[in-house]
Chain A
Amino acid sequence: MTATALPLPERAPSAGFDATRLIFYAFALLLCALIVAPMSWLIYYAFVDRTGAFTLSNFAALVTDQSFSDPLITTLILSVSTSAICCAVAAPMGWLVARTDMPGAMLVRYLVTASFVTPPFLGAIAWELLAAPNSGLLNQFYRYVTGAEADAHAVNIYTFPGLVFVIACYTFPYVFVLVANALDRIPGDLEDASSILGSRTWNTARRITVPLALPALLAGALVAFLQAMTLFGSPAILAIPAGYHTMTTKIWSLFQYPPKAELAAAASLPLLILTVLLLRAERRILGRRGYSVVGGKSGQPRLVRLGNLKWPALALCCFVLLNPIILPYGALLNAALSPVASQFVTLKTATLHNIYFVFYELSATKLAVQNTVILGVLTATIGTVLAVVISYLTTREAVRGHRVLNFLATAPVAIPGIVLGVGLFLTYTQPPFVLYGTLWILLIAFITISLPAAYQQLQSAFRSVHPELEDASRILGATRLKALRQITAPLLRTSVIATWCFIFVGTIRELSAAVMLFTSETKVVSVLIFDLNESGDLAAISVLGIMMLTITFAVVIAVNRIPGFGSVRLRNA
């Protein structure tokens, strides 16, 4: 994920007092508190029993107890299948969009972005509305068309393949972005060379383009694997009704009464270790990709002419995008306006009752929306400031030990949300820092979760601004901070705003950590939706979900209006 650093001129250590040093220590300390504290408690609890004595029995339970080994196996199969499907779907789509003259490529990119920002748990609930075996809209339609019996169904979402499908719907954008991004960057002259030497278009694609994009595809496969493995909402919504657990839902269930924190901690460790290992593998793969395309930004990518196939290609892309976007959004809208969520709404039956209920009768709405907005704004603001400062310190190599900062700011990538939730819960429900029950604990969780992506975005932004501009300012007598404020900051404005919005959108949809950490006073919209799902209030969920999507898209569209960001977001997402 991190690009290789540009060589920077060696600099003599500045003489005299430099505030940078102080800031460095402050930030290093802060990051340690954010990450090291919860992970240490997590590991500590995994190795103790209720009395606090050392034990390995928690791990013994993981291995021997079938109620742990089953979810672990399920999770692995789930992650592998999701990853495979995502690659099979996203790679051809990425190629069509980036390297062919397929019409509507921009539209496809926009719709993929839309699937990317759709909260996966909302998608899972929408798919319940669509593909529950009996009441699902698609199955009703199927019976209506075929005249099949009342029990017959075309699709059943409460199955293992159903879960894989729904997770893949909201995971494939990760693979798509990586692949399309790599294909965008493959220099045209390599392909030109191939053509000049007599290869035909398809042959060039097969022998040049595909091998160059392969590392990105592998990296995408790993990211998809990780997403599927660490997701909480979708399995909680679709697997539990069908009578099985995944690791995340199992960990969560260990916090139900009577809570078994030690077991939850122990069960979190395999997820943590697997994530770390896979991320290392990903970095190695992406590192290789860096070599393969280095130095070749000269030619525009050559577009493959699809000829008669270009409309079928677009149709195929649209068919794929029906699943994450068009059908689920339709189902949510239908449920929001229908008196019974499983009935197709007509002009005659349409009702505003559900909307009225959510905004005027449901007393939890106001507080949840308020908490969500406060947390979204604070997380985005603090996260952006952190990311700006850290990426400045690391890209400009302003202080010795900047690599530590780089590591700390990237490390949370390896912590699945639910694991971070367990760690923070263990850390902040006991003295000296009892933050449980306040928005602070959620703020810490959300900042930690969003930091790595924000940091990576801003790091590449900083790299694009040459240090000589700052150097000029400093030669003229400005301090480091003044140079930063007067020269670098204005140049980075667009990236900073984009990062802010990116964090905001990610925060308001976060569920897996929030579900471990909320109290009645600190409930957020995602948790409220999850609550409503457990009592089967699908109409209220649809209204809240549409509200959430509206806010998300308002922010995304606002960001897309900032010049140059439309493409940036897809590249760095």
Chain B
Amino acid sequence: MRTTISRRELLAGSGALALTTYASPIRAAAPEPSTITPALIEAAKKEGKVVFYTSIDLPLAEKIAKSFEAKFPGIAVRVERSGAERIFQRIGQEYASKIYAVDCANSSDAAHFVAWKRDGILAPYLPEDVAKFYPADHKDPDGMFASFRTWVSIIAYNSSLVKAEDAPKSFADLLDPKWAGKIVKAHPGYSGTIMTATYQMARDLGWEYFEKLAKQRIMQVQSSADPPKKLALGERAVMADGNEYNIFQLKESGQPVEPVYATEGSPLIVGPNGIFKNAPNPNAARLFQNYCFTPECQQLIVDVGGLRSIHPQVKDKPGRKPWKEVKTMKDDPAAVEKMGEEIKARYSKIFKV
């Protein structure tokens, strides 16, 4: 039907897909860096609100919203949270029906920004901090988006159910029959984090890995924020994938969860932010986008959220594994963009849902 033709299918013939990270076939001049000016704040206040579509774990997303509202009183942030793949579907569906509800989006599947940029629905806007402090591989050359947050998808375990010496050290360890029925795992059809992670793991470990993992009678949840929560509840002993940042939050609040950085490397997740051309509140969108990359907001998502920041002025929180020491797999949004559908289909076939 008209409204649901796959964008990837439509554009598959247009070629120009052999891209490296964030490289773009259309090279326009990057926009001038923008600062937060009184005029912008005034214009944003007239709009009174900003709508933020994101896949950040809900309580953290609301904390970011509240910090923005505290700094800029009179501008309400409405957080629309779902899995990144759902957000992508939602925006696609809404735009196909000419519903322009989203101001600013943050996705845990960086491939979405490749698609949105190509569709021409993003607005260029370059916050000053991004221009000054962010390295080239974490910002779009045309100023359409930049890396708001990074983290890894990790293994973790419940330390009251599993002793440290018995805990898995690698993805291969999870295939040990002793973990059968004890693993919780999130879904790439819902979560951008897991979509990205599934691509990297299938590339580096092969799909056979997932075929074997499927025999472990995993508990299949949707969001990558959920496996950490299921660990904290004590519902499962080990998670095969999920957000590092949720594990930090839970561990630091006293829950019995421990992160494990797999010896094979942990899938690297990058969550860019961008604003939309047809944003209903364009000024509030710019203000919000700008605020998101300030050291203040970036330090908040690190300290409170457990995320990693690209901003050089932001400090790691003590007690966490320093970002430099984390062995990551290599991310490749362009490849995820191309293979997304195949990954979902293959995953559903292997795991039955």
Residues of A within 8 A of B (CB): 45, 50, 67, 70, 132-135, 150-151, 158, 239-245, 253, 255-262, 340-342, 357, 361-364, 367, 426, 429-430, 434, 436-437, 519-521, 531-532, 534-538, 540
Q: Tell me whether A363 and B236 are in contact (CB under 8 A).
A: no
Q: Which chain A residues lie closer than 8 Å to B344 at the CB level?
A: 256-257
Bound CA span A266–B18, Å = 37
- Nearest-CB residue, chain B, relative to A156: B181
Q: Mark B211-252, 1 if CB is under 8 A from A, else 0.
A: 000000111111101100110111111000000000000000
Q: Tell me whether B235 and A135 are in contact (CB under 8 A).
A: yes
Counting CB contacts under 8 A, is B17 at the interface?
no
Across the A-B interface, the 4 shortest Cβ-Cβ residue pairs: A536-B226, A437-B99, A257-B89, A135-B235
Bound CA span A241–B143, Å = 40
Q: Tell me whether B220 and A341 are in contact (CB under 8 A).
A: no
Within 8 A of A (CB), among B128-170: 161
Contacts A436-B97, A531-B82 given; indicate if A132 touches B235 (C-beta within 8 A). Answer: yes
Beyond the given pairs A342-B234, A429-B1, 5 more chain A to chain B contacts, judged by CB atoms under 8 angstroms and listed by A's residue number, are: A132-B233, A241-B220, A245-B353, A258-B341, A340-B255
Tell me which of B53, B94, B189 contacts A253 (CB under 8 A): B189
Question: Shortest CB–CB separation between residue A241 and chain B, in angstroms?
Answer: 5
Q: Tell me whether A520 and B89 are in contact (CB under 8 A).
A: no
Q: Which chain B residues lie closer than 8 Å to A70 at the CB level?
A: 352
Q: Which chain B residues lie closer than 8 Å to A239 at the CB level?
A: 353
Tell me which of B5, B57, B94, B351 contacts A437 (CB under 8 A): B94
| B contacts with A, residue count (CB < 8 A) | 68
User: What are 23 A-B interface contacts by the 8 Å CB criterion?
Assistant: A67-B348, A70-B352, A133-B235, A134-B235, A134-B236, A243-B353, A245-B352, A253-B189, A253-B353, A257-B6, A262-B1, A357-B62, A362-B58, A363-B79, A367-B78, A429-B96, A519-B99, A531-B81, A534-B190, A535-B81, A535-B226, A536-B221, A536-B229
Counting CB contacts under 8 A, is B51 at the interface?
yes
Counting CB contacts under 8 A, is B13 at the interface?
no
Counting CB contacts under 8 A, is B86 at the interface?
yes
Q: Which chain B residues lie closer than 8 Å to A520 at the CB level?
A: 51, 53, 80, 90, 94, 101-102
Bound CA span A253–B351, Å = 14
Counting CB contacts under 8 A, is B92 at the interface?
yes
Counting CB contacts under 8 A, is B306 at the interface?
no
Tell me which of B62, B90, B161, B190 contacts A519 (CB under 8 A): B90
Q: Which chain A residues lie closer than 8 Å to B57 at the CB level?
A: 535
Tell me which of A134, A242, A357, A429 contacts B3 (CB under 8 A): A429
Question: Shortest CB–CB separation between residue B226 and chain A, in angstroms?
Answer: 4
Bound CA span A278–B219, Å = 35
Counting CB contacts under 8 A, is B317 at the interface?
no
Q: Tell me whether B1 and A357 are in contact (CB under 8 A).
A: no
Bound CA span A533–B285, Å = 29
Q: Tell me whether A361 and B59 are in contact (CB under 8 A).
A: yes
Q: Tell me whether A134 and B80 are in contact (CB under 8 A).
A: no
- Nearest-CB residue, chain B, relative to A362: B62
Q: Tell me whether A426 and B1 are in contact (CB under 8 A).
A: yes
Bound CA span A267–B94, Å = 24
Residues of B within 8 A of A (CB): 1-6, 8-9, 51, 53, 57-59, 62-63, 65-66, 76-83, 85-86, 88-90, 92-94, 96-99, 101-102, 161, 182, 189-190, 217-223, 225-226, 229-230, 232-237, 255, 341, 344, 348-349, 351-353
Bound CA span A369–B250, Å = 29
Question: Shortest CB–CB separation between residue A263 and chain B, in angstroms?
Answer: 11
Bound CA span A257–B337, Å = 13
Tell me which of A50, A521, A538 contacts B5 (CB under 8 A): A50
Q: Tell me whether B83 and A534 are in contact (CB under 8 A).
A: yes
Tell me which of A340, A361, A426, A436 contacts B62 (CB under 8 A): A361
- Nearest-CB residue, chain A, relative to B69: A363
Q: Tell me whether A363 and B221 are in contact (CB under 8 A).
A: no
Q: Which chain A residues lie closer than 8 Å to B3 at the CB level?
A: 429-430
Question: Shortest CB–CB separation between residue B242 and chain A, in angstroms?
Answer: 10
Q: Tell me whether A261 and B4 are in contact (CB under 8 A).
A: yes
- Nearest-CB residue, chain A, relative to B80: A520
Bound CA span A520–B98, Å = 14
Bound CA span A564–B168, Å = 64
Bound CA span A47–B68, Å = 50
Q: Which chain B residues lie closer than 8 Å to A361 at the CB level?
A: 59, 62-63, 66
Bound CA span A73–B235, Å = 29
Q: Which chain B residues lie closer than 8 Å to A357 at the CB level?
A: 59, 62
Contacts A243-B351, A362-B62 given; indicate if A256 touches B89 (C-beta within 8 A). Answer: yes
Bound CA span A368–B215, Å = 40
Q: Which chain B residues lie closer than 8 Å to A521 at the CB level?
A: 99, 101
Q: Which chain A residues lie closer than 8 Å to B65 at the CB level?
A: 363
Q: Which chain A residues lie closer than 8 Å to B101 at the CB level?
A: 437, 519-521
Tell me which of B97, B190, B220, B237 contacts A243 (CB under 8 A): B220
Q: Which chain A residues lie closer than 8 Å to B86 at the CB level?
A: 256-257
Q: Which chain B residues lie closer than 8 Å to A540 at the CB level?
A: 58
Question: Shortest CB–CB separation between residue A470 and chain B, in angstroms?
Answer: 47
Q: Tell me whether B85 and A257 are in contact (CB under 8 A).
A: yes
Question: Shortest CB–CB separation between residue B264 and chain A, in angstroms?
Answer: 25
Q: Which chain A residues lie closer than 8 Å to B232 at the CB level?
A: 340
Contacts A534-B83, A537-B58 given; indicate if A135 touches B234 (C-beta within 8 A). Answer: yes
- Nearest-CB residue, chain B, relative to A435: B97
Tell me which of A150, A532, A537 contacts B161 (CB under 8 A): A150
